[in-house]
Amino acid sequence: MGTPDFSVPPLKSLHKNGYDVPLVVTRPDRRKGRGRKLLPPPVKVMAMELGCEVIQPVSVKTDEFAEHIRDIRPDLFVVVAFGHILPASLLSIPRIGAINIHASLLPKYRGPAPIHWAIINGEKETGISTMFMDRGLDTGDILLTEKTDISSDDTTASLHDRLSLMGADLLIRTLKAFEDEDITPVPQDHSQATYAPMLSKKDGHLNWKKSANALESFIRGMTPWPGAFTFHGDRRLKIFKAEPLPSDSDAAPGTVIKGFSDELRVTTGDGALSVLEIQGASGKRLLIRDFLRGHSIPVGTVLT
């Protein structure tokens, strides 16, 4: 059970390692893009390439869906970024249980956006957890974990891809541990839990009162989606990459201050931020020196 790109490597890994996948469950096709073309989820595309049966229920809470699953008599559910909350009646169907691959070191960053928030909050490491699913949100017993460092140039995109591959590997290790009867589920310490809430486009708005270091992490955490942005007057500017710098300016946060001729340097609540890659409302992603050739943002301008 999975939907986006993150779910594809685990599905491929199950197939490659000879596990029987009698059914792939994913979300319905959705209309995307300017043409509103109806497109299948990435998991559906891969499942069809692998020759797996695919179903796309609008709801997983119907008697019809539950009966379909019971007929298969599954040993396990493998759930990866599916997008539906499974009711207890479904979780009780598989013989062994339902395994979820979650992109954090649980109990930290439970919820739908663990990769984004780990970067935004300046974490130095994160990882993958496999766990048994229960009625709570990412609250089940932990099976295995794998750590990875978050580098200073990681974005949500790069960390997403790395964790997806790690999840595929950890899933196979988890299944082999079950086969060898060499795994002990460990209850989570709920007192240490943190939550990674869903993000929307409006959440990418830069708050220049924050420190330059915090803003740089925020930008990486918002890249590529939902995107970090600010306003120059009524023009929306999307920022992809920036560098924190020391500054002794007493200008208000968000003020453009003097830097090199091909640089956009902005004051923050602590230090300054040098914008390195930017995109205008109707343009393409550019290095700042190329953007400034056609878009003047003079010293003293206040970005909001």
> How do the domains of the chain map onto residue ranges?
5-192, 201-294
Q: What are phi and psi of 173, to 5 degrees?
A: -60, -40
CATH topology of domain 201-294: Methionyl-tRNA Fmet Formyltransferase; Chain A, domain 2 (3.10.25)
pLDDT, tens digit, for every residue of 33-52? 878 899 999 999 999 999 99
Q: Is the pLDDT of residue 191 over 90?
A: yes
Give the chain's mean pLDDT.
Answer: 96
pLDDT of residue 281: 85
Those residues whose C-beta lies under 8 Å from the C-beta of residue 245, and which sit 6 or more positions away, are: 212, 265, 271, 272, 273, 274
With CA atoms as reference, report the closest residue to 235 among 294, 276, 155, 290.
294
Which residue spans within the chain are E strands per DSSP? 24-25, 30-32, 37-39, 54-55, 76-79, 97-102, 125-132, 142-149, 228-232, 235-245, 256-257, 264-267, 272-279, 286-287
* Confidence band of 3 (pLDDT split at 50, 70, 90): very high
The pLDDT tens digits of the residues spanning 214-246 come to 999 999 999 999 999 999 999 999 999 999 999
Domain 5-192 of CATH type 1.10.1060.10: no
